[in-house]
Structure 1
Amino acid sequence: MTASPYHFFDCRVLRTEYVTPAMIRVALGGAGLERMASAGRDQRIKIFLPHPGQDAPVMPDTSGDAANWYADWCALDPDVRGIMRTYTTRELRRDPDELIVDFAVHGPAPSPSDGPATSWARNAGPGDRIGVLAPLDEENGAYEFRPPQDTDWVLLAADESALPAVAAILETLPPATPARVWIEVHDLADKQELRTKAEAEITWLTEEGGTPAAIQAAELPPGTPYSWVAGESATVKTVRRHLVRDRAFDRKRICFSGYWRKGTTTDELIDRNETA
């Protein structure tokens, strides 16, 4: 039996900062982090948060093969087990080894809409423990941005929930790659400086769900495209429908992911096994 390409890591918070009023950056460290890998781009990881009153998340047996991790996690008491969420590896740093994760929040003050991950990020401090399931190989099945070699230009569309993935994707695009990018934020104060060597035209939107109309009104470059669309589920589906029906994009060249669904909590999606 081959070893699982994923591993549980017991991480501790090193430091936190507000990158913008709506984004908290958390730097994590921990034993064995030198084994963690990332493909960059939209690399997914699972994080496991403690319940209030717990010093650390209750996890499955993390000493061996993580191949059956989901079944093992489901077998734990839901009222006790670590609260699982899916996030993007914003950056995996070396010398020293640090995992950087960005948490989208609704402004700097606590909100009734805050979920467990947002609440945790707002209150996280040095030494706080968190569980992370991450790949051991750079080539793994937990990322989606895979443009074919014959791609002439790239279309990216996202809201704040997918902004860390867009930022990482832009950093990995080859120099001079034409890219058209649309990003929804709650306020223009939430714009970020995005590093890239690509020839990227980035449009920031402040109207929730305004991405489809903005793309419909845009003049797109010629050539063979590859598109990556992520964020609120209904918005993502509308953009995909426009690209296929109105722009004649090849369905196989559109990667789309509903990171969240309006009116539905993450826990409800987990119960229905619909998480990313």
Structure 2
Amino acid sequence: MTLPVTFVEVVEARRITPRTARITFAAEELPDTVGATPDQQLKLCFPRPGQREPLLPARQDDPTGWYQAYLAIPEAERPLLRSFTLRRRRPGTRLIEIDFVLHGDTGPAAAWALRAAPGDRLGMVGPSALYGPAVPFAEAATAADWVLLAGDETALPAIATLLEALPEEVRVYAWIEVADQMERQELETRAELEVEWLYRDGAAPGTLLAEAFEDGVLPGGEPFVWLAGEAGAVRAIRRCLVEQEGVPKEDIEFTGYWRHRLTQDDAPTAEDLADARERAAGY
């Protein structure tokens, strides 16, 4: 299984909310598996200052070897990596859509997205089924009494794809924290969905989401839980669900997408490493 490594070129860039840009890319190569399942994670490669396009890591027969190939690029020329969720692949094409949260001009991804125009090129590594969950989401969801999806605006692309993949008989509760009411997005699903939107309106990121589960707001039964967003909030929600609600750890899929006041370039904290060990262990 070879991990996809390809260039992608901007076809269209538009705002779907004041703080979210949806960018459509045409990929030079795109396996049929891309877009076939929900919540597909990928990495975008951004050029260094002075580069028209990024240098890409050499293709590897071993799908886990791409990172060593990436590190083999001289540091001054090595592309900047950021993680994203594939929002959609347009059927029968090599066109893909990726949503960017615009949080200012400080990070490479948001700064690039603010100015993105047709013809701009990035690199893409993945997505790959190798990095997906051990049990497919739809299978885990239909085996549970109900499903909980919780996250902030960075998790919205994944939440949207997960909802679109669910059948009619599934009961879903979604708790989503965004900056303000203007950041709401329409969510489509065949499942029975109840959504709780939490508006920060200046509060610290993750605060409202972490506090939302402290008062026993969830129904009874055996749930399947999917959590993503700011790492501290995800950690707090998971702890609450396990310790107060009695949800088994193995029934919670969780990922810290970003860290308040830290970037992906900063070293992992002790909590980050502990989370990584638990995910690697299967819970």
Q: TM-score range by the shorter chain?
A: 0.7 to 0.9
Q: 2:157 aligns with which of 135, 139, 164?
A: 164
Q: Deviations for 1:56-97, whole angstroms, at most 9, x for unmatched residues?
A: 101122486654110010121222111111110101122332
Q: State the partner residue of 2:43.
A: 46
Superposition deviation, residue 270 in structure 1: 7.5
CA contact 2:142–2:170 (8 Å) conserved in 1: no
SS in 2 for 1:164: helix
Matched residues in 2 for 1:169 and 1:246: separation? 26
Provide the TM-score with structure 1 as the length reference: 0.88
CA contact 2:58–2:70 (8 Å) conserved in 1: no
CA contact 2:146–2:172 (8 Å) conserved in 1: yes
Superposition deviation, residue 7 in structure 1: 1.4
Superposition deviation, residue 99 in structure 1: 1.1
Superposition deviation, residue 236 in structure 1: 0.6
Q: State the partner residue of 1:188.
A: 181
Give the aligned length: 265
Matched residues in 2 for 1:15 and 1:149: separation? 36
**RMSD across aligned C-alpha pairs, in angstroms?**
2.4
Q: Deviations for 1:110-148, whole angstroms, at most 9, x for unmatched residues?
A: x35x30011111111111111111246xxx133346326
Bigger shift: residues 168-177 or 238-247: 168-177
CA contact 2:29–2:94 (8 Å) conserved in 1: no
In 2 relative to 1, CA 261–226 (structure 1 residues): closer, same or farther, beyond 3 Å? same
Letter aligned with residue 50 of structure 2? G
Q: 1:57 aligns with which of 51, 54, 57?
A: 54
Superposition deviation, residue 35 in structure 1: 4.2
Matched residues in 2 for 1:164 and 1:269: separation? 26
CA contact 1:150–1:224 (8 Å) conserved in 2: no
Q: Deviations for 1:18-44, whole angstroms, at most 9, x for unmatched residues?
A: 010111101010322354523432210
Q: Deviations for 1:139-185, whole angstroms, at most 9, x for unmatched residues?
A: x1333463265211100110111111111111111113111111111
Bigger shift: residues 262-271 or 227-236: 262-271
In 2 relative to 1, CA 227–47 (structure 1 residues): closer, same or farther, beyond 3 Å? same
Letter aligned with residue 101 of structure 1? I
- The answer for unaligned runs of 5 or more in structure 1 is none
Q: 2:15 aligns with which of 5, 15, 18?
A: 18
Matched residues in 1 for 2:56 and 2:113: separation? 19
Matched residues in 1 for 2:177 and 2:165: separation? 21
Q: State the partner residue of 2:131.
A: 142
Q: State the partner residue of 1:132.
A: 124
Q: State the partner residue of 1:32.
A: 29
SS in 2 for 1:55: coil
SS in 2 for 1:70: helix
Superposition deviation, residue 188 in structure 1: 0.7
Matched residues in 2 for 1:40 and 1:100: separation? 14
SS in 2 for 1:59: coil
Provide the TM-score with structure 2 as the length reference: 0.86
Matched residues in 2 for 1:19 and 1:40: separation? 23
- The answer for unaligned runs of 5 or more in structure 2 is 277-283
CA contact 1:40–1:89 (8 Å) conserved in 2: no
- Sequence identity (%): 35
Bigger shift: residues 122-131 or 260-269: 260-269
Matched residues in 1 for 2:52 and 2:268: separation? 24
